[in-house]
Structure 1
Amino acid sequence: MTSRSRFLATLATASVAALALAGCAGGGGSPTGTSGEPVHGGSLAFGIPDDNGCVDPQQVSNNDNINIAKQTVASLTAQNPETGEIEPWLASDWTVSDDATEFTFTLRDDATFSDGSPIDAEAVKANFEKIVELGTVAPLGSSYLLGLDSITVVDPSTVTIKFAQPSAQFLQATSTHALGLISVDSVELSQEERCAGDYIGSGPFILESYTPNTGAELSSREDYAWAPAFSENQGAPYLDTLSFTVIPESSTLTGALQSNQIQSSANIAPLDQTVLSDAGYSLDNRANPGMVYTWQPNIEHPVSGDEAVRQAMLRAIDRQAIADLLTEFDRPATSLLSDSTPNYSDQSDLLAYNPEEAKQILDDAGWVEGSDGIRERDGEKLSFTIRYWQPTTDQLQLMQQQLREVGIDMQIEQTTVADMFATMNDEGNTGQWSNLTRADADVLTSTFGPNALFNAHRNNPATDEHLAAQATLLDPEERQVEVDATVRSILESADVIPVFQLSTTIVSAPNTHGVAFDGSTRIDFQNAWTE
């Protein structure tokens, strides 16, 4: 068996360099506006632009709803935002078998759910087995538990999770909200009840109310006393109440921050960030690990899925120009993975801007330029629509202009996050515009594996073979080979079009302090306080 310290040394090898890059983006994991002694009490309103209608931590997969849900749960482990190491949280210790198929966790004896029921081995077993049962309804957690063989309750404080094959990514997965714990009774609630917030959590805040597309109200849990060791605040949150307010329009979100209707947000437009910084608001930026912003075409669609169109798009996009529209910290995609992700390597040789080559590819495939500059073939226009909900309109508009230069008519249509999730796999869907945050290269499995939320109808056995292999390897160098092979196979087939890396900037009012990033660049409020 491998002890916790020995396993962490292996993990740290892959994460230190990535976190160094993340730290270059201006804030690392340090909280915003930290000054003076924290004040107990008070309230904080955090502005978000979107809501997909669910706050169950095990079902949510978009950033804004994750940032609500994650405050209500604790996980077995926590990822230190400064070092990338996996540290104790609900589990005080663990061992990992040498082949990474068996993980045994020892639970601390003082942690409870917010109804007072114990967080014990039976609760861990009930949660993880339900996540597997939920399948694609719990897209992140179920992908982390792929290949689960058994869960054994050794005693009330000890649980062993066994996989049918090595699962190199699992320990990091236990630090995520997607494997955060809710009470045993809550596990048995319906999906709808859990999405509506009718669950009992294990974290520092209690969800008091949730109104879809309006917001959520949370209260501090007075008896919370099991924060990870790296947290400055080891007790209950400083805040009495924490609220999330949905404000879709960018300028209105900025105005709400300026007028103190909200005190913090991670969705302020880049130009507004500069204005607010000059006015004394604090900015904290961190690169998001995981999948960069990508266009993932539906391979079965006759236009967007056409191989020549995909190959042309890969070459027709000027990624640096698109990144320049963002903050000074944002960078163009140089892989499917952001450069702050463990096991990232630069694959920019496959992403070179070459519009002339893009035109030649389309010419060779019979896509002929029409009188309006848009290509067509056999009477069909080279035209398709990208639907999106994220605050990326400016970037998509520039991408639209760049593609038009080579004869591709890419229309864009903004929708809601709820509608996007409800319709992403409908017949005729052209593809998916998305990114996914996770501080582990196995984010590739969440995006392209069998439990992926979006079915792109890929048929690339070589990719699938490398994808499966990287998930089984503990040796950092061996795993790097398979991660690189996975990424290159996807890019060489142009199954996915990476565009730019995402970073997150928390903007907080001068009277607001301690709003911070966790190890996955989600927002954490354990140390937040207001004057």
Structure 2
Amino acid sequence: MNDVPAQLPSFVLMPDTTGAEVPQGISRRSILGVGASVAAATLLAACGGGKGAGGSTGSKSSTLTVGIPSTPDTLDPGATGLALTLLMAFTMFDPLVWWLPDGSNGAKFVPGLATSYSVNKDATVFNFKLRKDVTFHDGTKFDATAVKATFDHVVDPATKSKSGLGALGPYKETQIVSPYEVNIVFSSPNASFLHQQAAGNFGIASPTALSKYGAVGFGNHPVGTGPFKFSRYVSGDRLTVVRNPDYKWGPSDLGTAGPPALESVIFRVITDDSGRYNGLQSGQTQVAMNLPPNTINVAKAKYDQLTVPSIGTPIGLMINVTKEPTDDPKVRQAILYAVDQETLVKSVLFGTSTAAHGVLTPTTPGYSKPGAALYSYDPDKANALLDSAGWVKGSDGTRSKNGKKLQLEILLYSGAGMELPTQFVVSQLAKVGFAANTSVQPFATAQGSFNNGVHNLGSFGYFGMDPYLLNIWVNSNAIKTGFNWSHYTNKAIDAEIAKANATADDTARNAMYTDIGTKLMQDGVFLPLYDVTFAFTMSKKLSGVKTTLNGYVLFHGAKLG
């Protein structure tokens, strides 16, 4: 899949019959698989507005309840580090521009809060012309001030942004050109920005709410422009959002350009897997998220199953390159040879996922076939590497060196469904002489542990919109406070990622990411297991659910009945 064309696209504008400025067309990009060429820019239909385009008029009022597996870290999309938060944030926030599946294995840009955009030649200045008919949930009028406040909030150190800051890259400033026009400016070329701003982290926030609640408090009082409004949040229990009756600026691609058909959506925290399934069976919930594969296998006869693949980094285990014994490249490579991903997917995941072998999923631009081909399952090679590194097998099958066991500390964060797959990994590693201790912590606690490097292997997976997501978990500056849980420091790789992000030509750019992915696999910083997806088991009464390119479901046009 190729990503950024040699000349970044812009909307073509023409007046409609009311005299308002609407886009005549949008750029279309092909997502036909690994290495597919980019489709030529194609003019497509503009999105409309108003209740007549499929809003709640005449629809049955109803409440949708979604069982989610863990507690969000915050409700602020600009601060979060969890994909779960962005799933919920998409109900409350709109991006400047949407990037959505086009229904034919392709993708397209669709106007959001911006009616048009343009990009300068070196991709350092992104100009957005804004809608004039949008109001935030708190009554604040949407304009250029809100866009500037949102991006400045993400880069504010007080926000402690986990994903958004890394995704923004070389952000310099947001310039207000006029009340309804902004320039988002970067200090160096940022070819990933059009995709990144649609990923969920940059849903535009009310400047009034940001000022009122502050960088930290906004996470408990989210105020956006989305189809649903924040109503109530009980930490560890549920988030309730209610229909925004004034919503009329959503893309018709999502099933409605007007208010949603649903009266409200409740996200219930049900950490127990059987509890989420029981809730679905009893009718207390209509959607159960990320059920175990064996349950999905049983439930598929009675319920609809929606598995949403994502651009991103596969589910897997980060390998800490600074802590013994994984500070030795031979030990890391032995781990990669010792694990059979195909058997994992077949025997543990019941075929509900796809085996992964690289640092990016196959639908991600710059996916590295060479990198993914480096480590086919080969326990003999794993044993030979450990032998050459001086680790000797004892009578119990566990290796040791200089009186120390070949012991791995494995840390998982809860709610990610990694416990059973990790048991499989541990059993595979034991066959070549590793001992392992596995512990599970809540995400907020685990992140601190990962940053402090107490682990050898740590659970990971990333939902993204662009291969620049590697900057979030590979960059040398993201070790102590970010997602570089491998503690991998390679300034040359940092520079290569920055250079790729500064390259507008997608053929050249993707080739650079392919090389980066191969190098990361050679260095053994990550054990990929299976491709990152969200799995939603749903009542057959639910219809109208749409999906994003980064694994989420959208409830703009959803209906029950």
User: With structure 1 as the length reference, what TM-score do the two structures score?
Assistant: 0.91
Deviations 1:342-373 (A, max 9, x none): 23232332121111111111111111112321
In structure 2, what is the equivalent of residue 121 of structure 1? 144
Q: What's the offset of the Cα at 1:493? A: 0.9
In structure 1, what is the equivalent of residue 33 of structure 2? 17
For 1:126 and 1:64, the matched residues in 2 are separated by: 24
Relative to structure 2, which stretch is displaced further, 426-435 or 468-477? Answer: 426-435
CA root-mean-square deviation? 2.4
Q: What's the offset of the Cα at 1:38? A: 8.6
For 1:117 and 1:10, the matched residues in 2 are separated by: 29
Answering whether residue 322 of structure 2 is matched by residue 297 of structure 1, we say no
User: Which residue, 339, 348, 365 being the options, matches 2:372?
Assistant: 348
| Residue pairs, 1:420-499, within 5 angstroms | 420-426=446-452, 428-449=454-475, 450-451=477-478, 452-499=482-529
Are the counterparts in 1 of residues 99 and 110 from structure 2 also a CA contact under 8 Å? yes
Are the counterparts in 2 of residues 220 and 241 from structure 1 also a CA contact under 8 Å? yes
Are the counterparts in 2 of residues 53 and 212 from structure 1 also a CA contact under 8 Å? no
User: Which residue, 369, 376, 379 being the options, matches 2:403?
Assistant: 379
1:161 is paired with a residue whose SS is strand
| Residue pairs, 1:214-233, within 5 angstroms | 214-233=237-256
Structure 2: which amino acid aligns with 1:223? D
Q: What's the offset of the Cα at 1:100? A: 0.8
Are the counterparts in 1 of residues 158 and 215 from structure 2 also a CA contact under 8 Å? no
Deviations 1:45-89 (A, max 9, x none): 100111144111111222222222221111101111233222210
User: Which residue, 67, 72, 75 being the options, matches 2:95?
Assistant: 75
| Residue pairs, 1:202-281, within 5 angstroms | 202-279=225-302, 281=303
Structure 2: which amino acid aligns with 1:515? V
Matched-pair identity in %: 25
For 1:459 and 1:394, the matched residues in 2 are separated by: 31
In structure 2, what is the equivalent of residue 60 of structure 1? 80
Q: What's the offset of the Cα at 1:457? A: 2.5
Q: What's the offset of the Cα at 1:149? A: 2.2
Q: What's the offset of the Cα at 1:171? A: 0.7
For 1:282 and 1:145, the matched residues in 2 are separated by: 36
1:84 is paired with a residue whose SS is strand
Are the counterparts in 2 of residues 289 and 340 from structure 1 also a CA contact under 8 Å? yes
Are the counterparts in 2 of residues 10 and 476 from structure 1 also a CA contact under 8 Å? no
Deviations 1:437-468 (A, max 9, x none): 11311111122123433453313233223222
Q: What's the offset of the Cα at 1:327? A: 4.9
Q: What's the offset of the Cα at 1:236? A: 0.7
The alpha-carbon distance between structure 1 residues 232 and 10, as it changes in their structure 2 partners (threshold 3 A), is: closer
In structure 1, what is the equivalent of residue 552 of structure 2? 522
The alpha-carbon distance between structure 1 residues 38 and 248, as it changes in their structure 2 partners (threshold 3 A), is: farther
In structure 2, what is the equivalent of residue 417 of structure 1? 443
For 1:3 and 1:339, the matched residues in 2 are separated by: 24
The alpha-carbon distance between structure 1 residues 405 and 380, as it changes in their structure 2 partners (threshold 3 A), is: same
Relative to structure 2, which stretch is displaced further, 228-237 or 409-418? Answer: 409-418
Deviations 1:351-399 (A, max 9, x none): 2111111111111111111232111112221112212121122211111
For 2:156 and 2:457, the matched residues in 1 are separated by: 27
Structure 2: which amino acid aligns with 1:395? P
Are the counterparts in 1 of residues 486 and 526 from structure 2 also a CA contact under 8 Å? no
Answering whether residue 383 of structure 2 is matched by residue 359 of structure 1, we say yes
Are the counterparts in 1 of residues 368 and 518 from structure 2 also a CA contact under 8 Å? no
1:41 is paired with a residue whose SS is coil
For 2:439 and 2:197, the matched residues in 1 are separated by: 36
For 2:453 and 2:472, the matched residues in 1 are separated by: 22
For 1:98 and 1:231, the matched residues in 2 are separated by: 31
Relative to structure 2, which stretch is displaced further, 416-425 or 474-483? Answer: 416-425
Structure 1: which amino acid aligns with 2:337? R
Are the counterparts in 2 of residues 13 and 476 from structure 1 also a CA contact under 8 Å? no
The alpha-carbon distance between structure 1 residues 2 and 258, as it changes in their structure 2 partners (threshold 3 A), is: closer
For 1:62 and 1:96, the matched residues in 2 are separated by: 30
For 1:243 and 1:304, the matched residues in 2 are separated by: 43
Answering whether residue 180 of structure 2 is matched by residue 150 of structure 1, we say no
In structure 1, what is the equivalent of residue 62 of structure 2? 42
The alpha-carbon distance between structure 1 residues 432 and 42, as it changes in their structure 2 partners (threshold 3 A), is: same
For 2:169 and 2:483, the matched residues in 1 are separated by: 14
In structure 1, what is the equivalent of residue 182 of structure 2? 159
Are the counterparts in 2 of residues 329 and 503 from structure 1 also a CA contact under 8 Å? no
Q: What's the offset of the Cα at 1:492? A: 0.7
For 1:470 and 1:410, the matched residues in 2 are separated by: 38
- Where do 5+ consecutive residues of structure 2 fail to align? 1-6, 13-22, 37-56
Are the counterparts in 1 of residues 541 and 560 from structure 2 also a CA contact under 8 Å? yes
Structure 2: which amino acid aligns with 1:294? G
Q: What's the offset of the Cα at 1:150? A: 2.6
2:254 is paired with a residue whose SS is coil
1:285 is paired with a residue whose SS is strand
Q: What's the offset of the Cα at 1:415? A: 2.5
Are the counterparts in 1 of residues 94 and 204 from structure 2 also a CA contact under 8 Å? yes
Relative to structure 2, which stretch is displaced further, 11-20 or 433-442? Answer: 11-20
2:107 is paired with a residue whose SS is coil
The alpha-carbon distance between structure 1 residues 50 and 3, as it changes in their structure 2 partners (threshold 3 A), is: closer
For 1:173 and 1:513, the matched residues in 2 are separated by: 28
In structure 2, what is the equivalent of residue 32 of structure 1? none
Deviations 1:103-142 (A, max 9, x none): 0000011111111212111111111112112388212211
Structure 2: which amino acid aligns with 1:152? Q
Are the counterparts in 2 of residues 39 and 530 from structure 1 also a CA contact under 8 Å? no
Structure 1: which amino acid aligns with 2:192? Q
Q: What's the offset of the Cα at 1:411? A: 2.6
Q: What's the offset of the Cα at 1:341? A: 1.6
| Residue pairs, 1:167-178, within 5 angstroms | 167-178=190-201
Are the counterparts in 1 of residues 462 and 532 from structure 2 also a CA contact under 8 Å? no
Q: What's the offset of the Cα at 1:516? A: 3.0
2:241 is paired with a residue whose SS is strand
The alpha-carbon distance between structure 1 residues 401 and 431, as it changes in their structure 2 partners (threshold 3 A), is: closer
For 2:540 and 2:30, the matched residues in 1 are separated by: 37
For 1:344 and 1:427, the matched residues in 2 are separated by: 28
